[in-house]
């Protein structure tokens, strides 16, 4: 009797758990198209962002600029991966998304190789699906880099990636585990520049604070950190220049659906034209160092650049 | 279903076993971290649990404390610790020890608590010292629950040790992170299957260990064997 009662309790607990889990799935879909099918007299534009603070700041700037231009905006921020949101833009569930031209091109066309900003932008326009367009890229970019500490750079007189060949001590590389197999990873450093790396330490925070700390501590000597990361300046790091285009240029550009009319496109183009690299790193620093919310950062930037 | 087949292909492909990021190395790293964590956590939690169980004081603090600790998100803890001590094994080991302590502590003190007080009083009455009571009476009688605590702590640690890879600590979590970022879901699944296999191995190990270490007299007196018998004789009721 006692054991049977306990058994029922256990089944009940599992059932409740399953219901909770399932309801969690249904209500937390961040790209639910139901919220965007408003239509009617005034257009609601759905603005999305990656689950990356810097991307969210840009999305917030887009949103507030569009609102200032008389559009109604539905924010669907912090959507994870490109594979998930790209089909949503294609289907019209998301209308505006800040993107990085090089990474987006590589995601759409895995055979894409390096090139200048213009080449990448041209290739990208051809590669995006029908109904989706990429607006004019900004001068601001957030791209991959090979980064070292300033002390290490001075010791071996490092400027560009090729100069890593000067280094005589073992170079331990750190970054997300997939970096090991990326086209700009350690094997390419070896084949293209003859740079031998000693080992690879996987630190999975995408060049975030843990990677920076490992670099500063000397656990790793070479890390993959995004160039718009304010930690580069605040921790005395040096992003090695990339004259050969090992990394694709990752300038910011708005990816828009067919629902975004010419007026809205103009607003977004004006924003991207006004956003400089210096501004962009500054915006990220306000988030990382001053812990300001993306909404506050966006409002201040738009005000300073006369968009309000 | 295809993912599952591809995942097993990944596991059984000899090319994936060698090298610094291979299955072999990561399996050993994962086991090593888990073992180290359970040993450290046991070294802390068992003496404290025994002390609480034997004296009967401090239980409410232990319950509240371990309840609070259980609610800590381990990934956050790993990250925060790694930001002060740097990448490597230290941060995941500390965070996992924090995760493992509550289960072991609960097993240790509840094992002592579950003993019939009359048994302990009898031991005291025949002149056993407090130390003898702990080692000869409470420890063997409390062993089944302590083993249960160690068993569930090991299970939690093995599954959560995947987070070590987040801060450069190696282990099977590497397959999960790489698979997620490169959309290589078979690799992710392969990593998960290996973690599950380790967890099942640990369960099996503890099942055997319980049989071996728990004295036969204690096993005979376990509640499960009591339940099997009718609690009252029919003859006397009639």
Digit-coded pLDDT (tens) for B71-109: 889 999 999 999 999 899 999 999 999 999 999 999 999
Positions in chain B whose pLDDT score sits under 50: 225-228, 236-238
Residue among A142, A133, A170, A172 nearest A239 (CA): A142
A177–B165 CB contact, under 8 Å: yes
A213–B87 CB contact, under 8 Å: yes
For chain A positions 138-197, those within 8 Å of chain B (CB to CB) are: 174, 176-178, 180-181
The beta-carbon neighbor of B168 closest among A83, A180, A201 is: A201
Distances (CA, A) of B45 to A203, B49, B52, B100, B104: 31, 6, 10, 9, 6
Yes or no: say if B53 and B108 are a contact pair by the CB < 8 Å rule.
Answer: yes
Residue A223's DSSP bridge partners are: A147, A174
The Cα B101–Cα B45 span in angstroms is 6
pLDDT tens per residue across span A113-172: 777 889 999 999 999 988 899 999 999 999 999 999 999 999 999 999 999 999 999 999
Mean pLDDT of A72-96: 87
- Tokens describing residue A3: 């054991």
B83–A203 CB contact, under 8 Å: no
Measured CA angle at B209 (ends B204, B214), to 5 deg: 135
Strand pairing of A252-257 and A132-134? antiparallel
Q: Contacts of residue B88 in chain A, CB cutoff 8 Å? A: 219
Q: Contacts of residue B163 in chain A, CB cutoff 8 Å? A: none
The Cα B45–Cα B62 span in angstroms is 10
The Cα A88–Cα A129 span in angstroms is 12
At residue A46 the predicted structure's pLDDT band, cuts being 50, 70 and 90, is very high
**Å from B128 to nearest chain A CA?**
37
Percentage above 70 pLDDT, chain A: 86
**Location of structure tokens 């004296």:** B55
Q: Contacts of residue A178 in chain B, CB cutoff 8 Å? A: 178, 181-182
Q: For residue A173, give the chain B residue with the closest CA.
A: B168
The Cα B207–Cα B148 span in angstroms is 9
Strand order in the sheet with A96-100: A72-79, A44-50, A96-100, A252-257, A132-134
Query: Which domains, from first to last, does chain B contain?
Result: 2-237 (1.10.3720.10)
**Å from B124 to nearest chain A CA?**
34
**Å from A218 to nearest chain B CA?**
10
pLDDT tens per residue across span A19-29: 444 444 444 44
Q: How far is CA B208 from the centre of its chain?
A: 15
| ipTM of predicted complex | 0.76
Q: What is the DSSP string of A100-134?
A: EHHHHHHHH-TT-----HHHHHHHHHHHSPTTEEE
pLDDT at B232: 52
Residue among A137, A136, A63, A126 nearest A95 (CA): A63
pLDDT at B31: 95
**Å from B164 to nearest chain A CA?**
9
pLDDT tens per residue across span A249-269: 999 999 999 899 999 999 999
**Å from A102 to nearest chain B CA?**
16
Mapped onto helix, strand or coil, the DSSP state of residue B9 is helix
B177–A210 CB contact, under 8 Å: no
Distances (CA, A) of A201 to A69, A133, B176: 48, 38, 15
Yes or no: say if B154 and B164 are a contact pair by the CB < 8 Å rule.
Answer: no
Strand order in the sheet with A222-224: A199-202, A172-175, A222-224, A146-149, A237-239
A204–B177 CB contact, under 8 Å: yes
Mapped onto helix, strand or coil, the DSSP state of residue B25 is helix
pLDDT tens per residue across span A207-251: 888 999 999 999 999 999 999 999 999 999 999 999 888 888 999
The beta-carbon neighbor of B82 closest among A201, A210, A220 is: A210
- Tokens describing residue A63: 């949103």
The Cα B238–Cα B26 span in angstroms is 67
Q: What is the mean pLDDT of chain A?
A: 85
**Location of structure tokens 């594979």:** A83
């Amino acid at each position: 009797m006692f054991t049977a009662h306990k058994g029922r309790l256990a089944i009940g607990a599992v059932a409740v758990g399953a219901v909770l889990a399932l309801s969690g799935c249904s209500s937390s879909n961040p790209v639910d198209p139901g919220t965007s099918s408003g239509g009617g007299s005034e257009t609601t534009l759905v603005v999305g962002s990656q689950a990356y603070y810097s991307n969210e700041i840009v999305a917030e700037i887009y949103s507030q600029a569009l609102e200032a231009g008389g559009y109604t905006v539905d924010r669907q921020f912090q959507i994870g991966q490109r594979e998930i949101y790209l089909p949503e833009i294609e289907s019209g569930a998301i209308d505006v998304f800040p993107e990085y031209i090089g990474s987006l091109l590589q995601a759409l066309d895995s055979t894409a190789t390096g090139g200048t900003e213009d080449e990448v932008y041209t290739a990208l326009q051809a590669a995006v699906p029908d109904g989706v367009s990429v607006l004019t890229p900004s001068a601001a970019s957030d791209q991959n880099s090979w980064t070292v500490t300033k002390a290490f750079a001075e010791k071996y007189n490092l400027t560009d990636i090729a100069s890593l060949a000067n280094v005589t001590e073992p170079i331990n590389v750190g970054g997300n585990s997939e970096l090991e197999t990326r086209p700009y990873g350690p094997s390419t450093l070896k084949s293209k520049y003859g740079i031998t790396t000693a080992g690879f330490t996987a630190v999975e925070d995408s060049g975030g604070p843990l990677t920076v700390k490992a670099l500063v501590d000397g656990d790793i000597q070479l890390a993959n950190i995004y160039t718009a990361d304010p930690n580069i300046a605040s921790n005395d790091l040096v992003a090695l220049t990339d004259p050969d285009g090992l990394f694709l240029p990752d300038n910011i550009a708005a990816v828009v659906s067919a629902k975004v009319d010419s007026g809205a496109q103009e607003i977004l183009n004006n924003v991207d034209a006004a956003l400089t690299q210096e501004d962009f790193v500054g915006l990220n620093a306000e988030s990382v160092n001053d812990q300001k919310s993306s909404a506050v950062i966006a409002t201040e930037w738009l005000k300073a650049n006369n968009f309000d | 279903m295809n993912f599952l087949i591809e995942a097993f292909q990944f596991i059984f492909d000899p090319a994936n076993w060698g090298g610094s990021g291979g299955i072999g190395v990561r399996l050993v790293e994962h086991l090593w971290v888990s073992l180290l964590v359970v040993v450290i956590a046991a070294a802390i939690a068992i003496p404290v649990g025994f002390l609480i169980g034997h004296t009967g004081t401090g239980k409410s603090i232990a319950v509240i404390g371990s309840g609070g600790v259980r609610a800590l998100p381990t990934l956050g803890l790993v990250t925060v610790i790694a930001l002060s001590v740097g990448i490597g094994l230290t941060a995941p080991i500390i965070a996992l020890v924090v995760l493992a302590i509550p289960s072991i502590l609960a097993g240790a003190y509840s094992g002592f608590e579950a003993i019939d007080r009359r048994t302990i009083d009898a031991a005291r009455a025949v002149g056993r010292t407090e130390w003898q009571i702990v080692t000869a009476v409470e420890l063997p009688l409390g062993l089944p629950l302590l083993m249960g605590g160690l068993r569930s702590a090991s299970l939690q640690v093995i599954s959560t040790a995947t987070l070590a890879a987040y801060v450069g600590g190696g282990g099977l979590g590497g397959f999960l992170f790489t698979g997620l970022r490169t959309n290589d879901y078979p690799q992710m699944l392969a990593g998960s299957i290996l973690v599950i296999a380790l967890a099942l191995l640990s369960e099996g190990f503890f099942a055997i260990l319980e049989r071996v270490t728990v004295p036969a007299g204690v096993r005979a007196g376990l509640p499960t064997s009591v339940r099997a018998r009718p609690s009252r004789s029919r003859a006397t009721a009639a």
